[in-house]
Amino acid sequence: MYAELVRRNPGEPEFHQAALEVLETLDPVLAVRRELADARILERVVEPERQIMFRVPWLDDKGKIHVNRGFRVEFNSALGPYKGGLRFHSSVNLGIVKFLGFEQIFKNALTGLNIGGGKGGSDFDPHGRSDAEVMRFCQSFMTELHRHLGEHTDVPAGDIGVGAREIGYLFGQYRRITNRWEAGVLTGKGLEWGGSLVRTEATGYGNVLFTAEMLKERGEDLDGRQVVVSGSGNVAIYTIEKAQALGANVLTCSDSGGYVVDEKGIDLDLLKQIKEVERGRISDYAERRGSSATYVPGGSVWDVPADVALPSATQNELDEEAARVLVGNGVKAVSEGANMPTTPGAVAVFREAGVAFGPGKAANAGGVATSALEMRQNSARESWTFERTEGELAAIMRNIHRTCFETAERYGRPGDYVVGANIAGFERVADAMLVQGLI
């Protein structure tokens, strides 16, 4: 089946990798549930329900015309409306959007909430563009995409390159075209017009909570642990914040230029000032932090010895060689804040060494879970407190961990969160597909 998938989807290595990672764990399910094989559930799951590609023309501030490509892959709606972010980055192509959308199916299923899986974006890069240029691009992008969206159909959110600014412009154009104040059509909105508290923090917070649950199963916790984090964007910043709140000493953060090691622990206020306010570089952090911080251009953040590693930057950033270094340095737990940041070879190294490994579809599901909570608030025309929303998030992450842990045990793979997450997510989607007929 994998060979057929590759043949039908040439030139999409990220999608191939994501699909294989799920497919190779499902044999135990198909062995005892022949009705899933007979209904060709697997063949249907790997084929998106709808793939949308479109032209996005826009004018820059000098009057020059640019043409980008837009994508939305609506992968599976058996559990609810398609749900998944929009990514604006020069690396975006159909294969990457399909990999992200495929992962989103099972991630969303694991939350226990009624949301399907989808993803989208464009090869437009907002970095270095003025607000006016970003607005014109977003308006052109939404002019085409709006016909495929709706709070009961497809609900995008933000992702890399799509923050509160972009969501605002996208929502404004949707409202202008449709003449509807449909707050639930996009999540990640500003707090003053339908957004949810904790959404900014949710992915990072959720990953740390999942990590804490994995350690708890082993009779350990995060208090006093040395932690390495990659990245310095939204996910990394709030991973650091929650890890520090639970008593961990976070030593590192990084960007595309290199990484910083801070022996005193990352100064979160300084990091936020540089990355969220000034939009500066990690090298600026080292210059202003003082003697405790060292900037390492290039290199690998995974060379830094630690008890816990939390990859929070981008896909395939932690390879087999880096995994062996981490294991050699005594790492006890690795959990994915980013989407598929660990290569298959690295995952195999962690499994062989008995390291607790949290796959992204489980560990970083806090972001989409809180997006679904935002949809719930929009539907009820109400706003929740930070404490209530964080409490809901914590409960969801504990439930995801328990589901993955118990599913892995039930299928004879105790402690294997990859198997547990894949099977639990797949079974929930498959059961919904079975009862809904051949569609």
Report the C-alpha gap between 141 and 146 in whole angstroms: 9
DSSP state of 302: G
Report the C-alpha gap between 230 and 318 in whole angstroms: 10
Q: Which residues are catalytic?
A: 119
C-beta of residue 73 within 8 angstroms of C-beta of residue 105: no
Cβ neighbors of 424 (< 8 A, separation 6 or more) are 109, 110, 403, 404, 407
Q: Which two tokens stand for residue 372?
A: 């679904």
DSSP string over 357-401? EE-HHHHTTHHHHHHHHHHHHHHHT----HHHHHHHHHHHHHHHH
Give buried/exposed letters for 33-51 (b at 16+ CB in 10 A, else e): beebeebebbebbbebbee
Q: Which amino acid is at 41?
A: I
Between 234-245 and 202-217, two packed helices, what is the crossing angle to 10 degrees?
50
Short-list 106, 68, 53, CA closest to 84: 106
DSSP string over 9-53? STT-HHHHHHHHHHHTT-HHHHHH-HHHHHTTHHHHHTS-SEEEE
Report the C-alpha gap between 378 and 388 in whole angstroms: 15
C-beta of residue 155 within 8 angstroms of C-beta of residue 186: yes
CB atoms within 10 A of CB 145: 23
